[in-house]
Structures are given as C-alpha cells and as structure tokens.
Amino acid sequence: MSLFSVHTLGCGSARPSLRHHPSSTVVSHRGSLYMVDCGEGAQLNFMRQRLSFARLRHIFLTHLHGDHVFGLPGLVGTIALNGTGGDLTIHTFEEGRKQLKAIFDYFCRDTPFEIKFNVIEPREAVILETKNLTVRTIPLKHRVPTVGYVFEEKPGQRHINAEMTRFHEVPVYMMNNLKAGADFVRPDGRVIPNEVLTTPPSKALSYAHMSDTMYMPELAEKIGPVDLLFHETTYLEEHAAMAAPRGHSTARQAAMVARDAGAGRLLTGHYSSRYNDDTPFMKEAQEVFPNVILNREGLVTEV
C-alpha cells in the first residue's frame, strides 16, 4: 500500500451531473487523511473507498462555493454519529469560519469532538506542519478568494546498510545517529563515514491541488516541480472564451502549467457538465504534456 496517495471522491463542477460528483479529494499520507474540499456526496464516496473517519483530522477548503462546501454538514454529522474522537480542523477563510460555525452550532451541536478553524488568507503561506508533511497555500484567480494547496513530504532519514553495520560492528544504540547522518567512531578511534554505513533517504514526494482558477502562467513557478499536480480542467479549448470570465481553465492551459512547473504527472478534473465524454480532456492535455491521468470518482493515484 502506498504511503502517499490521492483519492478522488468528486471531480465534477458546479452544475449537478449524473456522471460526476462535486469536488472532493482525500490525500492519504502515512496513515493520516487530509480532505481537500467537500462537495455533496463526499461522505458516501469516502465510505465507498473504505477510508476511515477516525483518520481524518484536517479539511482544507479552496474557496467558498457550494460545490466545494455543501457536503461538510453531512460529513461532520456522520463522523459525530460514529462516535469518532479527536479534534477536526477546518482550514478556511474568515467568512467560511463564520458561516460554517453557525451551521455546525445548529446541526452538529452534540459532536464528541471539537471542531477547530484555522483561518487562512489568499496568500502564499505554510499553514500546517507535521512530523512528516508540510502544507502550503498558493493564491489562485477565481470569482471569490481561492487558494490551492501543496502537500510536501519532509526529507526522510538515511537508510541503514545492515551488511556494512554488521561488518563494522556498529552497536544498535547508534542506529538512530546513523540515520540522522552521523559517522561511526570505532573503539580504536577509526572513523567510518556515514556513507559507508547507510544509503541515501527515499525521495521526498509532493502533491499540488490547484482548484478553480483561470489560467495563471506564473503559477508554475509557485508550485514548483511536484510529483503529481491536480489542476482544474473545467473546459476544453473550444470553449476557452468561457473559461477566463468564469475563473476557470481549459485542459490545454492546465497542461501548460504542468509542463512549465516540471510536474511528474497531471491529474485532470472539475469537468463542466456540458460534456458527455471526458476523454477529450486527456487528449487535449497530452498535446502539451504527455503524462496525463484522466480523473474519475473512485480513482486512487499514488504520488
């Protein structure tokens, strides 16, 4: 099982569709779950993917449009009915805090856990830091204040070379020091370099989630060379004239951001309900950037 994966719960846009659910994504990292947006039906797709409510401690809202938020009261109510303990933190703007607090105070007043709010702003900032992960915001251009999120693993420790540590008779209590990069000094005073006793740490992976936004050429530099990029692809290029005025992007524009950012792969999504077939999104994006994944509900993508 992957230690870093992205679960798609909904990849449709604002207008209801029988083909897609509204926006919601879950990032799974080393046993912890982080939800990005919570459109209607999110809790049902959460359960369909057999994800654990007990592991969900953070919900990140990109902006305050209904198709990204309306699933929250139901989700919180279900978590409460399950008797899940522990706090739940919702990362949102001040207006989101006010509106959601009023809803939760009325409909979810008996939750066995505390609902906390981390008030964010539409600017670049690190908003969460755990032992293994950093989450930062990037401002986007939409019709209301909007941010994207970048999930970045912290550099890991070096790996023990068991054969060499046995050969040099390194005591067990020294292993953590070796992982941190220390050399080993033998009883006779000879120094064994760390590079002899360990191998380099695993590559630190990263995932960027760029929700509703018009095309931003400058976005690529702000994101950086992530391993997996979700960038909204609401429209095809034939409807590009609709995209910018509504604060959205085309599949081609998303691919341009992925290419310029040096992303490993591009994950499509937030499809307009005007389309009855999603495959043109992939084909259009691949004309610019070859490593494209066609998103759908139930998809699990390893970072």
Distances from the Cα of 150 to the Cα of 62, 106, 113, 242, angstroms: 12, 33, 27, 27
Indicate which residue of 37, 67, 227, 278 is catalytic.
67
pLDDT tens-digit map of 91-101: 999 999 999 99
pLDDT tens-digit map of 22-34: 999 999 999 999 9
Q: How far apart are CA 241 and CA 237, in angstroms?
A: 8
CA-CA-CA-CA torsion sign (92, 96, 98, 100): negative
Residue with tokens 């000094």: 185
User: 5 with 302: CB under 8 angstroms?
Assistant: yes
Given this model, what pLDDT does residue 13 score? 94
Given this model, what pLDDT does residue 83 score? 76
Residue 79 has pLDDT above 70, yes or no: yes
Question: How many CB atoms sit inside 10 A of residue 176's CB?
Answer: 11
Given this model, what pLDDT does residue 112 score? 87
Given this model, what pLDDT does residue 22 score? 97
Pairing label, strands 159-160, 115-119:
unpaired
Say how many residues make up the chain: 303
List the structure tokens of 247.
């604060």
pLDDT tens-digit map of 190-212: 999 999 888 988 889 999 999 99
Given this model, what pLDDT does residue 206 score? 98
Alpha-helical segments (H) within the chain: 42-48, 72-81, 94-107, 162-167, 175-179, 194-197, 219-223, 240-243, 251-261, 279-286
pLDDT tens-digit map of 109-129: 888 889 999 999 999 999 999
Q: Set out the domains of the chain in order of their start, with CATH numbers.
A: 4-156+202-302 (3.60.15.10), 160-199 (no CATH)
Given this model, what pLDDT does residue 227 score? 98
Model confidence band, residue 149 (pLDDT cutoffs 50, 70, 90): very high
Tell me the DSSP string of 68-116: GTTTHHHHHHHHHHTT--S-EEEEE-HHHHHHHHHHHHHHSTT-SS-EE
Given this model, what pLDDT does residue 84 score? 72
- Residue 190, helix vs strand vs coil: coil
Given this model, what pLDDT does residue 111 score? 87
Given this model, what pLDDT does residue 92 score? 98
Given this model, what pLDDT does residue 219 score? 98
**Distance between the two ends of the chain, CA-based, in angstroms?**
12
**Residue percentage of the chain with pLDDT more than 70:** 99
Active site residue 188: no
Q: How far apart are CA 65 and CA 239, in angstroms?
A: 22
pLDDT, mean over the chain: 94
Residue 145 has pLDDT above 90, yes or no: yes
pLDDT tens-digit map of 152-177: 999 888 999 999 999 888 999 989 99
Contacts of 42 (CB under 8 A, 6+ apart): 9, 10, 21, 22, 24, 35, 71, 74, 75
